Structure 1
Amino acid sequence: MSRLNPVSRASGGGVSVGQVLLHLLPAVFLFALFACVGLLHVTSRVLVVDMGYRLSKAEAEERSLIRENDRLKLELATLKNPARLEKLAREKLGMSMPAGSRVVALPAELPGKKRNVRVEARDARGVRVAERGAPH
């Protein structure tokens, strides 16, 4: 009874395409808004996961560098060992401890005072000795 026949719609008594689009426009905007919010949420989650992977990789690199630093500190301590240095000096460089009379104690230098230094090299039994000369 309230049904319109197709002829009356075509003649202008019915709903136009513009009116239908006008009624659908809020729904389309709402859908677009939800889609944008969803994309932003997914993007932020992807960025958080990516940052977590980068943080994990950086922590693993930190642990590796700390291990290498500890190894290098141990190697340095081993290389600076006085007993090892003395052994190398005796065996490879042919050095020996000087006699007590050959050891010269120098006075301590004051921080603000400059001194003229003269270096000499002597040959005594094949040993080169460097000495500081007296100030001029």
Structure 2
Amino acid sequence: MSRSKPTSRGSGVSVGQVLLHLLPAVFLFALFAGVGILHVTSRVLVVDMGYRLSKAEAEERALTRENDRLKLELATLKNPSRLEKLAREKLGMSMPSGPLVIGLPAELPGKKRNAHVEARDARGVRVAERGSAH
């Protein structure tokens, strides 16, 4: 029996040939890895945007509730009966008697009124003044 010695150049396969055969497989692996990384990144961004949207919607609902509460509070504060009660109790005001209420004629567009208008009640007390001060 004779043994044959392996030769490094004769029938052996070179490293360059092996790399040439593996190059398409390495390229496909790199391509799939890149696509996978892009897919995972895009999914993470979508989930993050979903969380942001959910947070913004919750904030919008809270602001809408606050706006509704403030509108109700404003309507309550502007209630004429409440204002009249405050004027009577806290400020000591009362409704004027008949002769003290003076109605002024409506202004016509383009026509100016006197700069100084003064009204007096039956006792000669100045009630309202408009224009320059004396």
TM-score (norm 2): 0.80
| 1:96 aligned residue (94, 97, 104) | 94
- 1:87 to 2:98 alignment: no
Counterpart residue type for residue 70 of structure 1: D
- CA separation of 1:24/1:34 partners in 2, compared to 1, >3 Å: closer, same or farther? same
Counterpart residue type for residue 63 of structure 2: L
- Which residue does the alignment assign to 1:41? 39
CA displacement, residues 43-67 of structure 1 (integer Å, 9 cap, x when unaligned):
1111111111111111111111111
Counterpart residue type for residue 97 of structure 2: A
Residue segments in structure 2 that go unaligned for 5+ positions in a row? none
CA displacement, residues 56-91 of structure 1 (integer Å, 9 cap, x when unaligned):
111111111111111101100000000010111111
Counterpart residue type for residue 65 of structure 1: L
- CA separation of 1:74/1:128 partners in 2, compared to 1, >3 Å: closer, same or farther? farther
| 2:28 aligned residue (7, 27, 30) | 30
Secondary structure at 1:14 match in 2: coil
RMSD of aligned C-alpha atoms? 2.6
- 1:7 to 2:3 alignment: no
Secondary structure at 1:131 match in 2: strand
Counterpart residue type for residue 107 of structure 1: P
- Which residue does the alignment assign to 1:68? 66
- CA separation of 1:111/1:16 partners in 2, compared to 1, >3 Å: closer, same or farther? farther
Residue segments in structure 1 that go unaligned for 5+ positions in a row? none
Secondary structure at 1:130 match in 2: strand
* Sequence identity (%): 85
Counterpart residue type for residue 31 of structure 2: L
Q: Return the alpha-carbon distance in structure 1 between the equivalents of residues 5 and 62 of structure 2.
A: 80
- CA separation of 1:20/1:57 partners in 2, compared to 1, >3 Å: closer, same or farther? same
Report which of the two has the higher share of helix.
1
Q: Return the alpha-carbon distance in structure 2 between the equivalents of residues 57 and 78 of structure 1.
A: 32
